[in-house]
Amino acid sequence: SSGINAEYGEARKMRGSVKNVINGIIAVHKPAGHTSNKILNLISNALGYERNKIKIGHGGTLDPFATGVLVIGLGSGCKLLSEYLHCPKEYLATGKLGQSTDTQDKTGKVLEDLAFDHIDQITLQNTLPYFVGLGVKQRPPMFSALKRDGVPLYKLAHRGISVEIPERSVDIHSVDLKEFTPPHFVIHVRCGSGTYIRTLIHDIGKKLNTASHCFELARLKQGPFSIEDALPEDQWTKNNLMDAVKKWEHLLQGGEIEQPRSIEKGQNSPGV
């Protein structure tokens, strides 16, 4: 095996005596600038617990610069997090043409600076269907939460260590162009688990014979949770969080998690 495994945001093992009385699944609106793990610390504190005194985890990492829906499991709700990792997600992403970076987003070091004046809206629009289908091939970046022998790749990257990352297949159900104001373009993406939107935007640039990187990223939906359901940071109080736990308590009783709709005939792609 490759030794690379996805980081699933599972609840960390608790130390010492734990009296956990909160069980549930909720969603918060992650602001830019925090890691997903930092959000768990903030939610724990808002609920009145030290992080190691409460069972808490998230249903899929959002990059620090990204915003939007972060699904959080509490207590017995953590057992359901793997289901949320594999349920469909929706994103709104802004790409910037002309530059590639080592992180495939705006936080990284620029690797290429290429012309993009040959790209118009029709060219971009006609390129996007190539990335729609079941089994689209992606090669995630070194700056990712994937692991090699238990060590996150981004930690290796920060040490200047590079390893071969195998291609993997992901399901991308739709990629729709929402705006094109060069050098920026905005796409709405519906996809399955394991899809790297940064990599999608990077690959779109390559397909257009230029370069691109992810400039902004927001997760709009994950399973039953939409951005409207996600509690914004200024509302992370114990009362509001407990209200959210109560609102979504039916999910602990086996409430259905949305499955991806089938891709329209003719939209299957040969891969990236």
Residues marked as catalytic: 63
Strand partners for 221:
90, 226
Distance (Å, whole) CA 198 – CA 63: 10
**How many Å separate Cα 171 from the centre of its chain?**
14
Contact 26, 231 (CB under 8 A): yes
Contact 191, 88 (CB under 8 A): yes
- The CA-based angle 34-36-40, given to 5 degrees, is 100
**β-pair type (168-181, 184-191):** antiparallel
